[in-house]
Every structure is written in structure tokens, then in C-alpha cells.
Amino acid sequence: MGFRPNSPDDSDPSARDRLFGFWRLLMLLLRSSGQLRPAIIAIASAVCLIGCGRPVPPGKVRMQGVVHYDGQPLRTSAGMITFFAAQGTNSNTAKIQPDGLFTVDLEPGDYRVGVEATDGYDRLAEKGLKPIKAKSLIPETYANPTKSGLTITAVANTKPVTIALEQSR
């Protein structure tokens, strides 16, 4: 599970098979009608750029995972996950994708984690310009990394992690 920005390794034959199938389909489509060729090349280029991802900065490890709320992936259009180093002052944030997935590059070590997820962003009301606060989708206790009780350890070659949140907090 999870997004793999680099080429699949030999321990994941299903990812290798999907990649091979994609390239076979692409080659078949490129041999088709000349009118479709520019569109196919544009789409393939976009897929490659997105799939290849950015390189991991030196001295950091890429952490990927999913945020679950009550056993299901957290569905939010406005979610953020924050990582604060247990020792030192390093911190980083990542956007939670609509399907609950996140990717972040961290220095190796232990981190306290905070999670925020709302039904949108704060906005102004039409009359009177009073702010309308976005509604939190999870208990607000999770937003504070020092009180959330959530931790992770960032190490190289880590499999995707699951950040499990519960409604009963």
C-alpha cells in the first residue's frame, strides 16, 4: 500500500508487473493513430513526472503512510500532518491527500506527530464579513504534537506507516 515515488524494487513483483504493463500499453498506444500521438506523449510525460517524484534530500529519509480515523483512511480536503523532533528543533509538515495518504522527508530520528483535518478552510461569511471557522473532522487533541500521543521513528527503508486516530479521544 502507498505511493512509491522511485522505481519498484525487486521485492515488490506486483509493482514491477504494473509498471511493465503500463509501458506495454503506452507502446501499443504510440503505434496507433498519428492524431492521438501528441496527447498520448503528453499524458505519459505527466505520469512519468508525477510517478518519478522528487529525489530524497541528502541526510533525510522519505516517510510515506496513511492517516486512519476509526479504522478508515481519513478523508479530508484540508488536512495537515506535523512532525516535531523528540530531540532538537527539527520539524516538518505534509499535506494529507484526500485519500488519507501523506509523504514527508525527515531527518532520521524520533518524532512527535500532530494531525489536523477539517471540512475545508476558514472563510468569510457573505454578510458582515465574520469569519466562519472550518469544522474539525477529528478530535482537536490530535493537532498538538505534545498532547496527541502519536509518535513515529524515521529510518531509511521504512515501509509505509499508519497513523491511527480514534474518535474516543
Q: Is residue 134 part of a domain?
A: yes
30 in a domain, yes or no?
Answer: yes
Are 38 and 116 members of one domain?
no
Cell for 78? 484540508
The pLDDT of residue 130 is: 72
**The pLDDT value given to residue 69:** 93
| Residue 83 · residue 106 · CB < 8 Å | yes
Pairing of strands 78-85, 91-96: antiparallel
pLDDT of residue 5: 41
102/22 same-domain check: no
Hey, is 9 helix, strand or coil?
coil
The number of folded domains in the chain is 2
- With beta carbons less than 8 A apart as the criterion, state whether 65 and 101 touch: yes
pLDDT at 8 (0 to 100): 42
pLDDT for 49 equals: 46
Domain span holding position 20:
13-52
Residues 84, 46: one domain?
no
Q: Determine, yes or no, domain membership for 6.
A: no
Burial of 85 (0-12, 13-18, 19+ CB in 10 A): middle
Question: Do 65 and 146 fall within a single domain?
Answer: yes
pLDDT score, position 167: 84
| Residues 138 and 99 grouped into a single domain | yes
Ranges of residues in the chain with a pLDDT under 70 are 1-53, 122-129, 169
CB contact set of 139 (below 8 Å; sequence gap of 6+): 165, 167, 169
Please provide the average confidence, as pLDDT, over all residues in the chain.
77
Residues 86 and 43 in one domain: no
* Domain-ending residue, one of 33, 52, 71: 52
CB 81 within 8 A of CB 67: yes
Asked if residue 139 and residue 91 are part of one domain, the reply reads yes
Residue 36's pLDDT is 57
Distance CA 104, CA 81 (A): 9
Q: Does residue 79 form part of some domain? A: yes
Pick from 159, 161, 168, 104: which is nearest to 138 by CA?
A: 168
Question: Which candidate, 62, 65, 67, places its Cα nearest to that of 92?
Answer: 62
What is the CATH classification number for the domain harbouring 81? 2.60.40.1120
Q: Assess if residue 113 is contained within a domain.
A: yes
For residue 132, the model assigns a pLDDT of: 75
Q: How confident is the model at residue 11, as a pLDDT?
A: 44
pLDDT of res. 53: 63
Same domain, 72 and 123: yes
Q: For residue 1, tell me if it sits in a domain.
A: no
